[in-house]
């Protein structure tokens, strides 16, 4: 967490002071309508998630956050998480997965199908959001996702993208060294055979009157066919997942005559470019 997020915010001379805890509690309240928490507790919590998600939860240290994807057997993302390990002992693991509210119930149901004899319990824990914001620094990870180039899976995006299409391998959301998980073979093949034909880019909507939502199609000005779609928005900024061959085109929102999308620099290099 940055020093700015830790510091006390002073109020006026009448004694009004807001601490960083107050601020994050307010952020948590604002986030409750679009974020949810799945909590995994028990001796096998980390090893279970290790076999289900794209990142390494066995090596994850306590009080550290990491990004992860939950994929179908075909490698398509069904959910994405900010995950944190709150406690870790040989007899007990406590891991929270923060995801979009609109896919939380179906994701929990699907994960629960594979628990079988594993020693863990999966539950909803949305009441932990204020604590995750104020005590564990969730805001430092979940705020300004668009500007940071992080696309979170929401209902319109389920089962559409392999993680690399949303740049997850470039932002620490995929481990290529861990064991198997659903879709792992497809994800690895996409990476090492150069089969990534779509990428996510950061853009600004040039028309101040235009609005954008997740799922809006993106067009090139010289093409009647869609070249991709909007995957996350924040004000006049939008993350778009498009064909890499169209990255240099005159991009438009909604139609080839729609508002122009100006390409902005991502705050990280793509793994293939490192």
SS (H, E, C) 215-244: CCEEEECCCCCEEEEEEEEECCEEEEEEEH
Instruction: Identify whether residues 205 and 109 lie together within a single domain.
Output: no
Residue 91 reports pLDDT greater than 90: no
46-80 per-position pLDDT tens digit: 999 999 999 999 999 999 999 999 999 999 999 99
Note down the domain range covering 256: 198-266
Instruction: Identify whether residues 11 and 116 lie together within a single domain.
Output: yes
Query: For residue 22, what pLDDT is reported?
Result: 47
pLDDT band (50, 70, 90) for residue 246: very high
CA distances 72 to 117, 159, 181, Å, are 21, 7, 9
**Short-list 173, 150, 171, 153, CA closest to 161:** 153
Residue 19 reports pLDDT greater than 60: no
Quote the CA–CA distance of 58 and 49 in Å, as a whole number. 8
What are the residues facing 97 on neighbouring strands? 38, 83
In sequence order, the 6+-apart residues with CB closer than 8 A to the CB of 273 are none
Quote the CA–CA distance of 151 and 80 in Å, as a whole number. 9
Quote the CA–CA distance of 253 and 201 in Å, as a whole number. 14
- 184 within domain boundaries: no
Q: Among all chains, which residue has been given the structure tokens 């807001």?
A: 18
165-174 per-position pLDDT tens digit: 999 999 999 9
Specify whether the CB–CB gap between 245 and 223 falls below 8 A: no
Among 143, 163, 183, residue at a domain's last position = 163
Q: How many domains does the chain have?
A: 2
pTM metric for this prediction: 0.86
- Secondary structure letter of residue 47 according to DSSP: H
Question: Which domain CATH number covers 220?
Answer: 2.40.30
Percent of the chain residues topping a pLDDT of 90: 76
The 77-89 sheet, strands edge to edge: 65-71, 77-89, 92-100, 35-42, 121-124
Among 148, 163, 178, residue at a domain's last position = 163
């Amino acid at each position: 967490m940055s020093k700015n997020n830790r510091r006390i915010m002073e109020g006026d001379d009448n004694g009004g002071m807001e601490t960083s805890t107050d601020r994050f509690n307010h952020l948590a309240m604002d986030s409750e309508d679009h974020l949810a928490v799945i909590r995994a507790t028990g001796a096998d919590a980390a090893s279970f998630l290790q076999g289900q998600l794209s990142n390494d939860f066995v090596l994850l240290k306590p009080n550290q956050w990491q990004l992860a994807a939950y994929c179908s057997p075909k490698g398509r993302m069904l959910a994405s998480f900010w995950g944190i390990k709150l406690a870790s002992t040989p007899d007990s693991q406590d891991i929270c997965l923060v995801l979009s509210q609109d896919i939380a119930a179906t994701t929990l149901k699907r994960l629960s199908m594979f628990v079988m004899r594993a020693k863990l319990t999966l539950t909803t824990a949305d009441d932990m959001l204020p604590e995750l914001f104020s005590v564990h620094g969730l805001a430092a990870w979940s705020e300004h996702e668009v500007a940071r180039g992080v696309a979170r899976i929401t209902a319109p995006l389920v089962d559409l993208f392999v993680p690399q299409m949303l740049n997850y391998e470039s932002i620490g959301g995929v481990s290529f060294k861990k064991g198997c998980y659903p879709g792992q073979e497809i994800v690895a093949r996409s990476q090492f055979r150069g089969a990534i034909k779509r990428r996510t880019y950061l853009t600004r909507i040039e028309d101040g009157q235009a609005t954008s939502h997740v799922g809006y199609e993106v067009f090139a000005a010289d093409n009647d066919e869609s070249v991709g779609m909007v995957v996350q928005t924040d004000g006049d900024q939008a993350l778009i997942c498009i064909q890499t061959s169209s990255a240099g085109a005159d991009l438009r929102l909604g139609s080839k005559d729609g508002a122009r999308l100006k390409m902005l620099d991502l705050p990280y290099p793509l793994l293939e470019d490192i």
